Chains A and B, each alone.
Chain A
Amino acid sequence: EVQLVESGGGVVQPGGSLRLSCTGTGFTFHAYAMHWVRQAPGKGLEWVSFVTGNGGGTYYADSVRGRFTISRDNAKNSVYLQMNSLRPDDTALYYCAKDVTHSGWDSWGQGTLVTVSS
Chain B
Amino acid sequence: QSALTQPPSASGTPGQRVTISCSGSNSNIGRDYVYWYQQLPGTAPKLLIYKNNERPSGVPDRFSGSKSGTSASLAISGLRSEDEADYYCAVWDNSLSGWVFGGGTKVTVL
Contact = CB atoms under 8 A, between A and B. Distances in A.
Interface of A: 35, 37, 44-47, 50, 59-62, 95, 97, 102-106, 108-111
Given A95-B44, A110-B44, A111-B44, A45 B104 contact: yes
Contacts of B39: 45
Contacts of A97: 45
A106 to B, nearest CB: 5
Contacts of B2: 44
B37 to A, nearest CB: 7
Contacts of A44: 2, 86, 88, 101-104
Given A37-B101, A46-B101, 12 more contacts: A44-B102, A61-B98, A102-B33, A102-B50, A104-B35, A104-B47, A104-B49, A104-B51, A105-B37, A105-B47, A110-B44, A111-B44
B76 interface: no
Interface of B: 2, 33, 35, 37, 39, 44-47, 49-51, 54, 56, 86, 88, 90, 96-104
B45 A45 contact: yes
Contact of B99 (A35, A102, A103): A35
Contacts of B54: 103
Contacts of B47: 104-106
